[in-house]
Amino acid sequence: MTATKLYRRDGADAVTACALDDIVLLFHPRSGQTHMVISPVPEILDQLADGAPASVRQVRDRLALTFDLGPPDDALAEIAAHLDALVALGLVRPA
């Protein structure tokens, strides 16, 4: 993870979300795929909802306003891993 790596989410209509208890279904019309995710993925995506590029640290800082994320270095590593997985799924892209 580099400090300058930025991520961005496409516009709000790029993914349709449907919450089912603890599971969130994310339909990605461009790929035609539906992904089942659990926390913290929906919360991470929410932090990118404005479409502006954000670093892993910025996402962590935003999430830390609402959630206890534990040790900062652990949280950064976990968020980076989730963001990279979301890039692989096409739900987030590098900026």
Over the chain (95 residues), what is each successive 10-residue block's mean pLDDT?
80 87 94 95 94 96 97 97 95 93
Domain count, the chain: 1
Residue 64 located in a structural domain: yes
Residue 2 located in a structural domain: no
Percent of the chain with pLDDT over 70: 96
Residue 28 located in a structural domain: yes
Residue 1 located in a structural domain: no
Residue with tokens 């270095």: 73
Q: How much is the pTM? A: 0.90
Residue numbers of the domain that contains 58: 7-94
> 74 Cβ partners below 8 Å, 6+ apart?
none
